[in-house]
Amino acid sequence: MLQLKDFAVSLAHRAGVLLMEKFDQSIEIHYKGDINLVTEADKMSENLIIAAIRQNFPDHGILSEESPAILAESKMRWIIDPLDGTTNYAHGYPFFCVSIALEKEGRVILGVIHDPTRRDTFMAVRGEGAYLNGKRLAVSKTPDLNRSLLATGFPYDIRESNENNLDNFTVMAKQVQAIRRAGAAALDIAYVAAGRFDGFWELKLQPWDMAAGCLLVEEAGGKITDIMGSPWNMLLPNILVSNGRIHEQMIAVFKSAAG
């Protein structure tokens, strides 16, 4: 596991260096929808990560945001987001990251999230705790929703779908100290693990948005379900992560919003 951990951390750092080299430059942007975009930096970072995995672990599978899944006979699969926070990145807003997770037989065993603008590297190995730049992490101790700082996001089909999180946001905003919408779900989840946020929820995320971050939260002592409190897995359409202490309070708010 040490070899895998060192490999993942080094790879996330290499991808981060590449992203920073391109940051604030004139980069090519393509649109996958009206507001859903991808940059050449996404593809360059992804190519770097996939090439390294294929070279070092050719029998491992790979699930990535911008490329078709690579299937393998191995029980191991990498789940990667080469640039989480692409819209931020494209606008020069410095809140984005690289997310790399390793799954074994359907269970994430290793997660790394690297924020190159702050040089923050979040890392977790299942059963061994979660860390930020080598320092052990623990979720916050905030016991009351009223004193909580939360984070959320909105789906790319916000213009077309009624399931756009606006109803949840409207109700929750009146129950908490504040809500932040920074635009990079992987980092938001990592911030829950670090105690910077007390909770996070979002709809319509993909496995690469959540895999590494959720292991961080678990290893930091947090709780994960769907927004109605049912057991969570990466194929579900929504997620709720928290310090555990405010979890049931958040669920109660979502149930009231569903009416």
In the chain, where are the structural domains located? 2-136, 145-258
DSSP 137: P
Report, in angstroms and rounded to the nearest whole number, the Rg of the chain calculated over CA atoms. Answer: 17
Which residues are CB-contacts of 192 (< 8 A; sequence separation ≥ 6)? Answer: 139, 151, 198, 199, 200, 213, 217, 220, 222, 241, 242, 243
pLDDT band at 26, cuts 50/70/90? low
| Type of residue found at 199 | G
DSSP 83-106: EE-HHHHHTT-S--EEEEEEEETT
| Type of residue found at 71 | L
What φ, ψ does residue 187 adopt, rounded to 5°?
A: -70, -40
- CATH class of this structure's domain 145-258: alpha beta
DSSP H/E element including 44: helix 40-56
Is the pLDDT at 33 greater than 50? The verdict is no
| Type of residue found at 204 | K
Question: Kind of pairing, strands 178-180 and 223-225?
Answer: unpaired
For position 157, what pLDDT does the model report?
66
Which CATH number is correct for 2-136, 3.30.540.10, 3.30.70.20, 3.40.50.300, 3.30.565.10?
Answer: 3.30.540.10
Is the pLDDT at 27 greater than 90? The verdict is no
Average pLDDT over residues 137-143: 98
Question: Kind of pairing, strands 76-84 and 61-64?
Answer: parallel
pLDDT band at 35, cuts 50/70/90? very low
DSSP 56: H
Check: pTM over 0.85? Answer yes or no: yes
8 Å CB contact between 62 and 69: yes
The phi-psi region of residue 71 (left if phi > 0; otherwise alpha if psi is between -120 and 50; otherwise beta) is beta
> pLDDT for 199-253, tens place per residue?
999 999 999 999 999 999 999 999 999 999 999 999 888 999 999 999 999 999 9
